[in-house]
Chain A
């Protein structure tokens, strides 16, 4: 639940109104100037309507230097950010040769596999030498190597399902699977804050889409009852299939899905559950098996479990895990399997080695250490930020913590001030989040040490005071010390 101070809501609305008004003025004068200037594009249709890219031109481009910063090293806990400058007020940015070493609070590097790892990297290089960088064909033609079959078995065992299928890209996994699973005459009920890949896949499938309020099982039940009673849109025939799509951890809120209640609602009304564990696989749960393990849900109750390898495993690609019949069906219908190039063998080997490290099968306890460290780091960081008075979203144990900024001017201020002090944060604004609720999203990794986190806290606290985002009263220091003493005892 997000609590905004009322005055902040008013000033945010007003700021956006002001930005919108300025943008409209500039567009108006730009139209007049362009009418005077001759152009040699007679007879060509415009690429986009003038109103369609208003947001990009007039709001996003003004603070473009806060997004898309190029990096020139592996995204470990510390990395090199390339400095850029602009001569025309951020419309175009030019790279320089200078690099700054910054603390990385933005990469989804939950278990620290993003940089070179002592177990995974030699094996990935080995597999690169054996199989070369790409299989250069789709899975059905010549792209299935022993690494691919081993990967699918490994993932199925890890997740706790009978079989799995892996694809080369995480976004494609969602957008190519949903059209295959459900078609016209079916119903997809998805959480209102689902990722764009799910929205795209759902739109591409041709099924009817309904949305339920974020993470509210009672509203899901209400929507299910309404839709089952009404049936298909005009004919009122019963639905052919109902799939409820939820995510394990929502990447913009850091909230963990209320899976037990949602699964019980779906069982009651005989709907299928599709769980997208992009951010939660490998990051939560005692052995890193995701939200099912964390919340105690039996994996047999979730019909389709999807996940990506980009976040916790330091590789690329996505997977779907389900029953043997489902995976066999997907293997001969899913276009991502039939036509898309298969996942690179080196990337697949990286995933297999990462899973082995997590499960402890490489002979060391690094996996368990990483899991314990990410949990400690996340809980420590979140509680410290909340004590300082920031509004931090997300549940305990979740490694994603968005710090609310709200006002549009605070977004570039926070981002640039943090970069000046060598801390790189990711700020998220309008199309990815609702208009008012702009935030800075911090992703904690197992490779962050306690000193890194303390430095980050100092910098964020300083910048927070400067920018004015400590919306809640901070707890006074004496109480903090007392609490810490009680914890140690």
Chain B
């Protein structure tokens, strides 16, 4: 019932909240509850609801993890202003447990979305595109890479 919260030695306050207990569970429950909400609002089939959740998840996580750079407060004097949130977590160390978890979630969502829509065509294309972009963005070789200068520093 109780979990211990050990203060991590991570100085970046923008990312250290991710190392506390309960984050993974909250993430998964938000996805699950948003599926229920989409089902109740649109009244569509479960498969389309999963596709909608998958695509909205793609837009939201791409924007916040891989597009927005810097930190939402000015205390750290802008030392992370050139790094996206994904490049900041765990101090830039690659292939940690948190990073592996965050890479697996879009893939699992993709599998659920494509399975429940029976791999039918327009949805399958968009889902595949979304998961491809997200997983490639999370590769260790893409650390600090800006393709064609998109989203590079001014």
Answer yes or no: B72 CB below 8 A from chain A CBs: yes
In-complex Cβ contact of B5 among A10, A48, A437 (8 A):
A437
For this complex, into which size category does the number of interface residues on chain B fall? Answer: 20 to 34
Q: A434-B20, A435-B16 are in contact. Are A5 and B26 (CB under 8 A)?
A: no
Q: Which of B8-40 contact A (CB under 8 A)?
A: 8-9, 11, 13, 16-17, 20-23, 25-26, 29-30
Which residues of chain B are near A219, meaning CB under 8 Å? 9
A3 touches B25 (CB 8 A): no
B85 to chain A, nearest CB (A): 11
How many angstroms from the CA of A432 to the CA of B6 in the assembled complex? 16
Q: Is the Cβ of A17 less than 8 Å from the Cβ of B26?
A: yes
Question: 14 pairs across A/B with beta carbons < 8 Å?
Answer: A2-B4, A4-B5, A4-B21, A4-B22, A5-B1, A6-B3, A14-B30, A51-B68, A52-B72, A53-B72, A192-B9, A430-B73, A434-B7, A435-B13
Total chain A interface residues with beta-carbon distance under 8 A: 35
Which of B1, B7, B11 interacts with A213 by CB under 8 Å?
Answer: B7
- Residue of B at shortest CB range from A8? B22
Judge whether A327 is part of the interface by a CB distance below 8 angstroms.
no
Complex A-B, nearest 8 residue pairs according to Cβ-Cβ distance, in ascending order: A9-B22, A435-B17, A54-B72, A13-B26, A55-B73, A3-B2, A2-B5, A55-B72
Total contacts A-B at CB 8 Å: 101
| B150 adjacent to chain A (CB < 8 Å) | no
Q: Which residues of B contact A193 (CB under 8 A)?
A: 7
Q: What 1/0 mask marks residues of chain B from 70 to 87 whose CB sits below 8 Å from any chain A CB?
A: 111111001001000000
Say yes or no: B21 contacts A434, CB within 8 Å: no
- Give me the interface of B with A, judged by CB distance under 8 Å: 1-9, 11, 13, 16-17, 20-23, 25-26, 29-30, 68-75, 78, 81
Chain A CB within 10 A, most for which of B2, B7, B16, B30: B7
Say yes or no for A431: interface residue by CB 8 A criterion: yes
A contact residues vs B (CB 8 Å cutoff): 1-6, 9-10, 12-14, 16-17, 48-49, 51-56, 192-193, 196, 211-214, 219, 430-431, 434-437
Tell me the nearest residue of chain B to A9, going by C-beta.
Answer: B22
- B71-A9 in contact (CB<8A): no
Complex Cα distance, B16 from A453, in Å, reads 36
